Amino acid sequence: RKVHEQLQIGSDITVEKGEKIRSVWTIGGQITVHGTVEKSAVAVGGSVVLTKTAVVKGNVVSLGGVIVM
């Protein structure tokens, strides 16, 4: 399944294994990546968790959180 972009405010986002998404952004939530992000994964006020199956081809940014690999 491919989703073009995803933005959430105040909730978490999970990119599942086998899922491809262009960009993912959250404000006040956490991003967990098991699948593929073609461009950027950006969390403002939250963290980004990259699992061992995660692929992010662009930037990984966390403002006010941490990046876990």
pLDDT at 56 over 80: yes
What does the alpha-carbon distance between residue 24 and residue 8 come to, in Å, rounded to a whole number? 8
Nearest of 3, 52, 14, 47 to residue 28 by alpha carbon: 47
Predicted model pTM: 0.93
Q: How much is the mean pLDDT over the chain?
A: 95
